[in-house]
Amino acid sequence: MPVARATRHAWVVWATAVVVYLFAVFHRSSLGVAGLAAGERFGVGPAALSTFTVLQVAVYAAMQVPTGLLVDRFGPRRVLTVAALLMGLGQTLFAVAESYPLGLLARAVLGLGDAMTWVSVLRLIAAHFPARRYAVVMSLSAMLGAAGNLAATVPLTAALHEPGWTVTFLAVGLATAVYGLVVAVRLRDVPAGSPAPVAESTQPTAVLRKVVGAWQVPGTRLGFWVHFSTMVAPTTLGLLWGVPYLVQAQGLSAEAAGSVLSLLVLGALVGSPLLGAAIGRRPELRMPLVAAYLVTSAVVWALLLALPGGQAPLWLLVLAFALFAFGGPASSVAFALAKDYNPVRTVSTATGVVNVGGFVATTIAALAVGVLLGLAEPLGSGPAFQIAFLAVVAVQLVGTWRTATWWRRARAVVLLAAERGEQVPVQLRRRRWDDPVPQPAVA
């Protein structure tokens, strides 16, 4: 049953859950500044180094649909508890690992725990807050989660210098695992007095039918491609390649590179509440804002990749990273689409499907950057990174094309439903380019 207002207990539940997401973002982003140190610790080059992030993100992406099903079946409290324990175990392993295979195992365990956080947090928000507050609380969650990303920039750089790799990652890993006990005690899946959700069937045919049903909804497909296209730049830079690019190609010190990388976080901190408030009041602005980000981002990438020798002035680097930061807030539009276009019983599954998009894009882009860097290394760091980052641009352009396709199809569905007098998630005005008939779903 939808709740009429947000109670004090709802905010306590939300605050408890969002701390887990904060830990998740920190663990996910830690290699953004620890990448060079990891290369030295494990004695590996760019391609092998990218495998750390690719493996973690690939596990995350692969677990999104199963996570949605797990949340539907067991509830977000249990799933978040397990997530905190897994992240704590993974970071503890990473703290003590000295061999490359053990490091890979640690990042895979981290990705598994990380994968269970965001969908669970969104399910708790949907259960404890009125529908009209969903976009605002979701954006506030993303903003506070970005504090974990901020901690993984300048503060982590200082901690890795002193007291060092093992102590730093061990302390954070143990803290995450201990916090899992707090989650188990303090969280509640639904408000007091509300009926417990009905357990969903776990039969393979029922699960497959649920996933396919969510994927066939045009709004879900649109959300997938929005997430795919908006997240690829900030996550590829923030998770791994930002600091190596700034240090090796642009000649910045590690401290200065960490400061520039922190713009990815500061931009998200500013952009998330602003975008959440805007789309909460006027949901029809969701896709125009996404389109504005994608077009502007493409222009900035063109500037960075066209500079002779790959050397960019500091002001352009600051502008570029500040702009890319808004990809994170823009990606939250994808989850609002999943919620609005799917029935309550499949929202978690649809959210998981949508969340796959950005991490599939990051997996492809991060791995391709590592491979291309290795091939182009004889050209020098600047030109090598220019060639390597063409992979990020290509992934973003593919996502932009598919976003435009499914935006048009989703609009057609909404417009026809409105013309039939049905309730629709957003009020739209028909444009010349709108298709009056929904097209059949295609891959």
Cα distances (Å, whole numbers) of residue 377 to 47, 149, 314, 395, 438: 11, 29, 23, 22, 48
Under 8 Å CB-to-CB from 232, ≥6 apart: which residues?
A: 327, 358, 361, 362, 365, 392, 395, 396, 399
Phi-psi region at 267: left, alpha or beta (left = phi > 0; alpha = psi -120 to 50): alpha
- CATH 1.20.1250.20 given to domain 8-192+201-419: yes
Tokens found for residue 106: 């640690």
What pLDDT was estimated at residue 204? 66
What pLDDT was estimated at residue 207? 72
In the chain, where the domains are located: 8-192+201-419
Measured on CA atoms in the order 275, 280, 282, 287, is the torsion positive or negative?
positive
For 188, half-sphere exposure in the C-beta direction (CA atoms, 13 angstrom radius) is 14
Per-residue pLDDT of the chain (443 residues; tens, 9 = 90+): 555 566 888 899 999 999 999 999 888 878 777 777 888 888 887 778 778 878 888 888 888 778 877 887 888 999 999 999 999 999 999 999 889 999 899 989 998 999 899 889 988 888 888 877 777 788 788 878 777 777 766 677 778 777 888 888 899 899 999 999 999 988 888 776 565 555 555 566 777 787 888 888 888 999 999 999 999 999 899 877 888 899 888 988 878 888 888 888 788 778 877 887 787 778 888 899 999 999 999 999 999 999 888 888 999 999 999 999 999 889 988 988 888 787 766 777 888 889 889 888 988 998 899 889 888 876 667 888 999 999 999 999 999 999 999 988 887 877 776 666 666 666 667 666 666 544 555 44
Under 8 Å CB-to-CB from 22, ≥6 apart: which residues?
A: 144, 145, 147, 148
Say how far apart CA 251 and CA 136 lie, in whole Å.
40
Say how far apart CA 412 and CA 434 lie, in whole Å.
6
What pLDDT was estimated at residue 442? 46
Are 237 and 321 contacting, i.e. CB atoms less than 8 angstroms apart? yes
Dihedral through CA 280, CA 233, CA 120, CA 113, nearest 10?
-170
Say how far apart CA 197 and CA 191 lie, in whole Å.
11
Preceding peptide of 438 cis, ω within 30°: no
Cα distances (Å, whole numbers) of residue 109 to 168, 217, 222: 18, 32, 30
